[in-house]
Every structure is written in C-alpha cells, then in structure tokens.
C-alpha cells in the first residue's frame, strides 16, 4: 500500500513538472509516435474495414422451410445466372423486347401458382408506351418501349394508395448488366414471391415496375409514371439501381420533404447504409448520372427512396459486369433490406396522406458502421448543431479562463496566445487541403493522374499522409521555435485542439444557417471533443501533464471510426468514377479533396499529439519519407491505372459514315471515320502504343461551319471527343432514311411548314438548326421547347428510340422568316442512325481496329450514320 502511494506521489511530481516546464526530456521517446499513428491505422483495419464489408449469411432454398418469410438469396442467384446467360439487353433488340418479357412473365406465372390466392390478387400488365420529355436540354422521344408491371394487393384491402418498387432490366451496349441492374430485378422477383406467399397481408397494394428502358435516358420510368393506369394511385416509391456490382446497397436519396420515409427505413432496414452527405454531394451535379428517382419525383411528384449498389464500380457499364462479381451474400443483404422496407411502407399510415405528411424540411440521416441508423428532422438538426457548437464555444472560453487563473496569467495574454494558435489552425487546414491538392496538380501536369485507380491504397501516401503533414506542421514548428516559459507545453497543445474545435464549431453553425444538412458530421466532431474537455475539466486531468490526452483519445474513438468509415465509403464509390468522368476535369483533385476532408475529420484532434513525443520534427520527416516512397511506387508500373477485366480503361467510339448534302440535293462531301469519346483524364495517351492514331483531331478543331461539329454525338458522355479519319468507307448495317413529304407556306406568308418521314434503327438522333434570319416556331416533338430559349438553343437535338414497334416517325417543322423568302435555304437538319446492338455486324476494318485496343480497354462501340441536309 505504501509503495502504491509512493508511485502516485512520483506520478504527481512528474505531472507537476510537465505542467510547469516545457522540457523535451520529460516527453515520451520520439519513435513511439509512429506506434501511436499506427494504432489508429490498425484500428481502421480491425474495425472499420471488416464492418464495411460484412454481409449477412445467405438463406438457401432448402432452409426456407425453417426460415419462413425470409428472403432466399439462392433462388435470386439462380435467376441472376439466367440473366447473365441472356447477354446484353438493348432497346429494340429481341432479347430486350421479347426474351426478357417472356422471362418475367414466366416468373409471374410461377409466383401466381405458389401465391396465397385466399389472401392476395396478382395482376400483370405488359405496357407498350410512347412519349417524349426534355432531359439535359435534349428532347427524349420514345415509341413502344416496354415495361412489365405487376400489382400485388390484399383481398381485404380497399386502399387506393399504392407503393411503387422499380428497377430496370435493359443494359448498356456490350454490357450484360448483371449488376446494373439485373441483381435488383431478381431481388424484386424474390421479394414479390415472399410477399405473395406470406400469411401476413399488407394494407396498401404494391406495384412492381420491371422497367425496360432506363439506359436510354430513363424513358421506361417516364412512360409508366405519365401514362400507366396504376400510376395515379402510386403515392411513394422505392427505386433500385446500381453503380457497381456486388457488396452493399447505399440509400443516398430520400424524399424530398417526406421525413416519414426515413423513419420507416430506420425501423425496417436490417443492414442500414446511408448518409445525408451522399445525397447533398449528388445534388451538386458532381456525379454525372441520374436514376429513375428523378423521373418519379419530377413527373409524378412522388416521394421515394433511392438505393444503389455501389461496390466495384470498375465493371459498371462494361462487358465485365457479370455473374461472378455478385455473391449470394450481397443479394441477401439487399433482399433483406428491400423486403423489410416494402413490408413496412405497404402497411404505413402515411401512405394514405402523402400530401399531408409533406413537411417543410428534410431529414438528417446516417448509419454508424452499418450497426444502426440515425435520423432526425432538419429543424432538430439546426437546434442540436447550435446547442452543441454554441455550448462548445462557451466551454472553450471556460477552459481558457481556467488556464489563465491556474497560471496566474492575464486573460488577455492567454487570449493572444489562443489567437495565434487559431491563426495557425487556419494555416493547418489550408495546408491539410492544399498539400494533397498540390500533389494532384503536379501529377496532372506530369500526365500521371489516376495512379491509384487499381491500387487504391496509394492514396494513403499520395494524399492522406500529406494532409496529416499539413495538419501538424504549422503547430509543431510553432511549438518548437516559439517556446514559452509562461504557458506550459501541455496547455499550449490543449489550446491548439481548442482552436480546431472553435473552427469546426463556427463552420458547423455557418453551414447550418445555410441549411447544409451534412453539417451533422461537424457537430459530431465538436460533440465528442467537448465531451473529452468536460471530463478533463471535471477531473482536472488537464492539470496533470499530458493525462488529458488519454481522455481525448478515448473520446475520439467513435468519431474516428465513423469518419474513416464514411470517407472510406466515398472513396470506394468515387475512385472507379474517375475512369468515366470525362477528360476535362482532373479527377485527382476530387480524390485528394475527399482524402483531405476525411483526414481532417478523423485525425485533426489526434495527430497534433505527436508533440507529446520528443523531436516531432523527426516524425514529420518520417511521414515525408513515406510520401516520397509512395510517389516512387506511383510513377512505376504499379501506378499504371488500368488492369485487364478488373480495372479497365473506358473508350466510347462510333464507326461513322457521313454524308453532307447541298441545298440542291447533291452530295458535297462523303467520308468515314471513328468518333472517339474518351472517358478519363489520361485521354488517348495509353492507347498510342497499340493503335495507329495518325490524324487524330480534337473535335473542336473541325467544328467550323458544321452543325454539331459534323458528328452524331449521343448526348451526355460524348462531348469533347476526337475524330480519327479513315480512308475506306464504314459499312453501316442498315439504312436511315429521311423523306420530305411536303412543305407548305402558311397563310401569313412568313411561315413555312415541312413534313417528314424518318425510318431507321431503334436509336436515332435528329439535329435541327435554323439558318440566319430564321426561327423555329413549332414542331411535332415536344410542344413548347422552341419557345424556351433559356432551356434549349440551336441546334435542337431530339433523341429517339423505339422498342417493340419500328414504325417510321412522321413529324413536321415550322419556321418563320422575316423576309418571307423561302426559295432559299431555311434550315439544316442532321439525321443519325445508331446501330447499338451486338447483333449488328461491324465491317472487317472496324473489327480489326477494335481488336487492336489493349487488353485493359473496354470499348463501348457501334456503327452509326450521319446525314446532313439543307432545306
């Protein structure tokens, strides 16, 4: 007992010395600092990594009798294998328009045979629908696209409020689409089966929409929500889609303005994975894609939930999106969530009053390591954020006041010291973001972007460690160079963390004022720091040397785990996207910013603690050496971005035959070439060793006097391309014909109307460009577009697709001309036919050109024609 008291006395003396003197010899040895930093890295791999990747045990068919009502992943997997064997499913192809319809109707028949006929009614409808709408400044027109629509309702229910569950079965050209979105289709089929055989009837009918035209600008969803007889009764929806293949699905959009949906997700989801931050990032437009959620929200005015598979985005929209990448456990994860969520929503009281349940605010929502889900209204977030941050600022003031009293030091002098440390904090944040961004700029200048694309662990040395250095360097230099005899080192280190807390608290309040719901992550950071500060003030551990840092580290466990989990998820999603975000932006800047933001949130209170150890400059030097080693690795072959099959380079290109007609109908020019739309920042550089790209031109260099640069661009993802001329003409496997039926000068004598008939493949594009002095005043496509110059400007573009009916398009164009002279050129029209199916054969030269691409390249390609006329 005496020995124990003696040890306490010794510890107290040491603590007193540390509090009174800034003595490096009293600090821990410098080499232990690396163990301290390694501890947090080990914590990530021991907790965050396995929890992020954990999937439930799958249920097999032979276990169903013992687990009634549960989603059976094995059955869904068997169906997924069938979808894989069917190959690509392109609008207009027999596989998409007949084989898939037969497949779905067969499954509906199976469900009908096994369902509880005493409890449920099952109705099946194959919808063929035509329509048009404006999307991304392009008129999207469709003809006879098909959806398979199924309604399951309880016999005892008289509810007229339906729940809509949607996914799509069509695919991108060349892609089998097992992940996008075959996995969601089979999930819906198994959910339908489980509901139809359940002994627990639900209140509201459920409509399952198997969407046959999503990859062509969301046309199937538009056709359903604007024209199907069941759509007016749909009051809410669940949209299921994919940006990857396998793994867990993330809920990244909800509402809008219907908080009750998040409450049901919280109550029902067995494996929650969601964050408000993902929703707000998506709303910025940084991610250049969309889902059917937009159609249901904008055209149906429906609230809903948007859930997507996000893992392994490398194979998304490629021929490698195959059965082998989706495990049975992944299907079980999604199936468990969807089945429980559908049950919950189909029995909800809110479904009857969706207009009344609309609120004036959104929800804040997030999951913690997949273990549980948190959601609360935006107005509650504003109150909580303000109280936590405001209270934290008050507590910081109390702590600083206490330091001044403890040291018998003037409050003003402590305030000056704190002000200096706050300015250093601003510099640290600037460097923590700036150093990774600087690395990104340097790599881009050296044509070395995306070195992390395959070996994603390289971001640790390229971006995360530089961010750590930026966080700690200013403070360390300040404490080493500007030693203080009046304020002990341990207090100054505490004050440095106070400065970071003040910065985060102020930023949280500002973002809250501007209704940024993602401010919740800043609130969490402040909350746990304030908790540690409160404990240290109450126990007075902050007076005992560096013992306060033990409490701080303990309280930082939860925020570190959450923030590293959150930003790891963002990197998993964002890194594959760098391979398809286009050539104009530097993707390394995005990844560097995510890494910096994640580092600041997870480690900003922790890494300054390297100053508890001796010679912290050596530690910073060691981190710099690690970054240098990573840089050397990244510029080696290991840093080459692409790998065959798993991490491919994407190249979209068309084999184009062009004709340009004069006003008198004669051909002024006819040629062929490849229109290449590169998808990432490395552009054509990786292709030059294998391909002869002599004569390759940036499309902007040939745009003079050519409408739409003289190429049949295909909307989003096809801008900023290259043109590679070829001597031999491209053989197009079909004919696209534009026929002028008649033209009529109207009674005003200042307007003329042209009537046309267009015949061609399942995908065509029309470009219309009035010449000088001429204005388009009317047409037969989407009325009102010519009168909205803010939305659409010449050349006007119409994308057209047909599904089950290849009938010609009959349309008219009406122009007005102030001079009234119509015996001279009035407008230019371009017609492009796209032969997107794999059943359309490529000519021999195109086939050879495709084979010349390196094995790490995925080509999404097809033949196309482009004819330009002047009328």
pLDDT in tens, 340-381: 999 999 999 998 876 655 666 789 999 999 999 999 999 999
* pLDDT given at position 719: 63
736 pLDDT exceeds 90?
Answer: yes
On whether residue 113 sits in a domain, the answer given is yes
Q: For 491-553, give the DSSP string.
A: HHHHHHHHHHHHHHHHHHHHHHHTT-GGGHHHHHHHHHHHHHHHHHHHHTGGGSTTTHHHHHH
695 and 609 part of one domain: no
Q: What is the pLDDT of residues 162-209, one digit of tens each?
A: 999 999 999 999 999 999 999 999 999 999 999 999 999 999 999 999
Domain boundary among 329, 359, 389: 359
How far is 186 from 836, CA to CA, in rounded Å?
25
Hey, which residues does 163 pair with through a beta bridge? 206, 236
630 pLDDT exceeds 60?
Answer: yes
355 and 485 part of one domain: no
- Strands 796-802 and 138-154, by their bridges, are parallel
Residue 355 to residues 202, 225, 230, 294, Cα–Cα distance (Å): 21, 18, 18, 19
* pLDDT given at position 495: 95
* pLDDT given at position 359: 63
% the chain with pLDDT above 70? 95
* pLDDT given at position 10: 35
653 and 624 part of one domain: no
488 and 603 part of one domain: yes
82 pLDDT exceeds 90?
Answer: yes
750 and 784 part of one domain: yes
On whether residue 44 sits in a domain, the answer given is no
- Chain-centroid distance, C-alpha 517: 18
786 and 864 part of one domain: yes
How far is 101 from 528, CA to CA, in rounded Å?
54
Confidence of residue 485 (pLDDT cuts 50, 70, 90): confident
CATH number at residue 211: 3.40.630.10
Read off the pLDDT of each residue in 77-102 and give the average, rounded to a whole number: 97
Confidence of residue 747 (pLDDT cuts 50, 70, 90): confident
501 and 585 part of one domain: yes
627 and 729 part of one domain: no
Would you say 208 and 351 are in contact if contact means Cβ atoms under 8 Å apart?
A: no
Read off the pLDDT of each residue in 273-280 and give the average, rounded to a whole number: 96
Read off the pLDDT of each residue in 620-645 and give the average, rounded to a whole number: 96
Confidence of residue 453 (pLDDT cuts 50, 70, 90): very high
* pLDDT given at position 354: 64
On whether residue 317 sits in a domain, the answer given is yes
852 pLDDT exceeds 60?
Answer: yes
* pLDDT given at position 867: 96
324 and 414 part of one domain: no
16 pLDDT exceeds 80?
Answer: no
531 pLDDT exceeds 80?
Answer: yes
Domain boundary among 359, 392, 417: 359
Count of domains for the chain: 3
Identify the helix (H) or strand (E) that includes residue 133.
Answer: strand 120-135
21 pLDDT exceeds 60?
Answer: no
Mean pLDDT of the chain: 92
Read off the pLDDT of each residue in 790-801 and give the average, rounded to a whole number: 87
15 pLDDT exceeds 90?
Answer: no
Hey, which residues does 756 pair with through a beta bridge? 740, 811
- Looking at per-residue confidence, does 721 or 453 come out higher? 453
On whether residue 297 sits in a domain, the answer given is yes
* pLDDT given at position 1: 40
543 and 438 part of one domain: yes
Residue 38 to residues 35, 410, 555, 600, 610, Cα–Cα distance (Å): 5, 40, 18, 17, 12
Domain that holds residue 154: 61-359
Q: What is the pLDDT of residues 532-571, one digit of tens each?
A: 999 999 999 888 889 999 999 999 999 999 999 999 999 9
Confidence of residue 240 (pLDDT cuts 50, 70, 90): very high
- Strands 234-242 and 206-211, by their bridges, are unpaired
* pLDDT given at position 716: 59
Confidence of residue 20 (pLDDT cuts 50, 70, 90): very low
Residue 421 to residues 417, 479, 669, Cα–Cα distance (Å): 6, 10, 70
Q: Which of 23-32, 72-81, 118-127, 618-627 has the lowest mean pLDDT?
A: 23-32
Read off the pLDDT of each residue in 81-103 and give the average, rounded to a whole number: 97
717 and 795 part of one domain: yes
Residue 308 to residues 179, 217, 722, Cα–Cα distance (Å): 10, 17, 32
* pLDDT given at position 19: 39
Report CA dihedral (405, 410, 411, 416) to the nearest 10 degrees: -130
On whether residue 32 sits in a domain, the answer given is no
Task: For the chain, report the end-to-end CA distance as a whole number of angstroms.
Answer: 105
On whether residue 836 sits in a domain, the answer given is yes
On whether residue 780 sits in a domain, the answer given is yes
* pLDDT given at position 283: 87
On whether residue 309 sits in a domain, the answer given is yes
525 and 609 part of one domain: yes
Read off the pLDDT of each residue in 235-244 and give the average, rounded to a whole number: 96
- Looking at per-residue confidence, does 361 or 831 come out higher? 831
Length of the chain: 871
How far is 146 from 212, CA to CA, in rounded Å?
5
Domain boundary among 639, 662, 683: 639
Read off the pLDDT of each residue in 277-288 and give the average, rounded to a whole number: 87
12 pLDDT exceeds 50?
Answer: no
Going by C-beta distance under 8 Å and a sequence separation of 6 or more, which residues neighbour residue 663?
A: 824, 825, 870, 871
Q: What is the pLDDT of residues 419-433, one digit of tens each?
A: 999 999 999 999 999
Going by C-beta distance under 8 Å and a sequence separation of 6 or more, which residues neighbour residue 664?
A: none
483 pLDDT exceeds 90?
Answer: no
């Amino acid at each position: 007992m005496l020995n124990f008291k003696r040890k306490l006395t010794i510890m107290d003396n040491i603590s007193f010395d540390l509090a009174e003197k800034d003595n490096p010899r009293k600090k821990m040895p410098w080499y232990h600092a690396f163990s301290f930093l390694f501890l947090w890295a080990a914590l990530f791999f021991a907790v965050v990594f396995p929890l992020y990747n954990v999937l439930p045990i799958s249920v097999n068919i032979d276990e169903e009798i013992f687990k009634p009502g549960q989603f059976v992943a094995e059955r869904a997997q068997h169906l997924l294998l069938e979808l894989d064997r069917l190959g690509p499913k392109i609008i207009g192809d027999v596989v998409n328009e007949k084989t898939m319809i037969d497949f779905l109707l067969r499954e509906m028949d199976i469900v009908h045979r096994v369902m509880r006929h005493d409890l449920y009614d099952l109705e099946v409808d194959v919808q063929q629908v035509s329509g048009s709408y404006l999307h991304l400044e392009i008129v999207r027109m469709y003809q006879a696209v098909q959806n398979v629509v199924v309604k399951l309702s309880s016999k005892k229910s008289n509810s007229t409020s339906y729940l809509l569950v949607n996914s799509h079965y069509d695919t991108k050209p060349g892609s089998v689409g097992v992940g996008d979105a075959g996995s969601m289709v089979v999930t819906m089929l198994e959910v339908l089966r489980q509901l139809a055989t359940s002994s627990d009837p639900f209140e509201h009918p459920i409509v399952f929409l198997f969407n046959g035209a999503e990859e062509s600008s969301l046309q199937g969803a538009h056709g359903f929500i604007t024209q199907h007889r069941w759509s007016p009764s749909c009051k809410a929806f669940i949209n299921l889609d994919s940006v990857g293949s396998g793994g867990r699905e993330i809920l990244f959009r909800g509402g809008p303005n219907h908080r009750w949906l998040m409450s049901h997700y919280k109550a029902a989801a067995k494996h929650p994975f969601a964050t408000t931050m993902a929703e707000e990032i998506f709303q910025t437009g940084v991610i250049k894609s969309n889902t059917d959620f937009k159609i249901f929200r904008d055209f149906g005015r429906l609230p809903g939930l948007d859930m997507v598979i996000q893992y392994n985005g490398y194979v998304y929209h490629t021929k490698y999106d195959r059965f082998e990448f989706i495990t049975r456990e992944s299907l079980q994860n999604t199936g468990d969530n969807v089945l429980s969520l559908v049950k919950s929503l189909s029995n909800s009281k809110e479904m009857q009053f969706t207009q009344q349940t609309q609120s004036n605010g959104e929800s804040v929502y997030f999951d913690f390591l997949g273990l549980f889900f948190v959601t609360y209204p935006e107005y509650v977030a504003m109150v909580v954020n303000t109280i936590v941050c405001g209270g934290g600022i008050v507590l910081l003031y109390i702590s600083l006041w206490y330091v001044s009293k403890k040291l018998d030091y003037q409050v003003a002098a402590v305030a000056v010291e704190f002000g200096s440390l706050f300015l250093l904090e601003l510099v640290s944040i600037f460097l923590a973001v700036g150093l990774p961004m600087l690395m990104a700029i340097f790599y881009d200048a050296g044509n070395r972007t995306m070195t992390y694309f395959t070996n994603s662990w390289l971001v640790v040395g390229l971006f995360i460690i530089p961010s750590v250095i930026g966080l700690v360097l200013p403070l360390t230099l300040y404490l080493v160079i500007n030693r203080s005899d009046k304020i002990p080192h341990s207090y100054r280190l505490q004050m440095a963390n106070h400065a970071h807390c003040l910065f985060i608290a102020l930023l949280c309040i500002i973002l809250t004022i501007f209704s940024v719901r993602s401010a919740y992550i800043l609130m969490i950071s402040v909350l746990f720091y304030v908790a540690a500060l409160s404990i240290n003030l109450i126990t007075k551990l902050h007076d005992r040397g560096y013992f306060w840092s033990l409490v701080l580290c303990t309280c930082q466990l939860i925020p570190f785990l959450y923030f590293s989990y959150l930003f790891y998820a963002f990197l998993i999603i964002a890194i594959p996207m760098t391979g398809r975000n286009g050539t104009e932006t530097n993707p390394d800047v995005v990844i560097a910013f995510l890494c910096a933001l994640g580092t600041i949130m997870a480690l900003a209170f922790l890494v300054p603690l390297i100053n508890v150890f001796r010679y912290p400059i050596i530690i910073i030097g060691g981190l710099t050496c690690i970054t240098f080693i990573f840089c050397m690795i990244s510029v080696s072959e290991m840093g080459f971005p692409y790998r065959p099959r798993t991490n491919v380079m994407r190249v979209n290109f068309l084999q184009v035959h062009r004709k340009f007609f004069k006003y008198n109908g004669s051909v002024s020019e006819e040629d062929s070439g490849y229109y290449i739309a590169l998808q990432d920042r490395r552009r054509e550089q990786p292709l030059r060793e294998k391909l002869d790209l002599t004569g390759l031109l940036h499309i902007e260099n040939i745009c003079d006097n050519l409408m739409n640069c003289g190429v049949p661009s295909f909307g989003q993802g096809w801008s900023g391309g290259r043109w590679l001329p070829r001597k031999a003409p491209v053989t197009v496997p079909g004919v696209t014909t534009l026929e002028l039926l008649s033209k009529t000068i109207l009674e005003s004598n200042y307007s003329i109307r042209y009537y046309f008939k267009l015949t061609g493949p399942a995908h065509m594009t029309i470009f219309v460009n009035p010449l000088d002095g001429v204005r388009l005043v009317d047409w037969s496509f989407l009325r009102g577009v010519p009168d909205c110059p803010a939305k659409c400007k010449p050349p006007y573009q119409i994308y057209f697709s047909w599904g089950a009916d290849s009938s010609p398009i009959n349309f008219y164009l009406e122009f007005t001309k102030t001079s009234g002279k119509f015996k001279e050129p009035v407008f230019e029209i371009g017609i492009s036919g796209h032969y997107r199916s794999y059943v359309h054969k490529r000519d021999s030269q195109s086939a050879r050109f495709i084979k010349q691409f390196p094995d790490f390249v995925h080509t999404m390609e097809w033949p196309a024609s482009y004819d330009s006329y002047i009328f």
